[in-house]
Amino acid sequence: MKVVNIKDVEKKKVLMEGAFNAFKQIPISKADGTPNFSMRVFTIEPNGHTPYHKHNYEQLNYIIEGEGVLINEKGEEIFLKTGDFVLVLPDEMHQYKNKLSDKNFVFICCVPKEYE
């Protein structure tokens, strides 16, 4: 069993090409012995974004703070707010953006542990 507060988890800048003002924390990882999934927390600072990308595994998200948009495969912007859940299927193009200039956009992202 593991209990950890997000304030005690190291925050690292997302270094993927195309990311801007995006940070990742991994409070539950394969190093903790999780059998299937890793839990990550992304913080997208004002005017920041993740890369526009896809991957061959599903991604489960829960918005825990702020507002942002999800860009889908068609380039459409889907508004997201605190309390929303998102399922990104394998090989779907997607990007998260924080269009606000004064508040962070924070979400949980669960992925298979092999891809943390």
Could you please report the per-residue DSSP string of 55-79?
Answer: -SS-EEEEEEESEEEEE-TTS-EEE
Partners of residue 78 on adjacent β-strands: 70
Is the Cβ–Cβ distance between 106 and 64 less than 8 Å? Answer: yes
Q: pLDDT confidence of 110, banded at 50, 70, 90? A: very high
| Per-residue pLDDT tens over the stretch 42-90 | 999 999 999 999 999 999 999 999 999 999 999 999 999 999 999 999 9
pLDDT at 101: 84
CB-based contacts of 14: which residues, under 8 Å, 6+ apart?
Answer: 22, 23, 24, 42, 50, 51
What mean pLDDT do residues 90-104 have?
Answer: 95
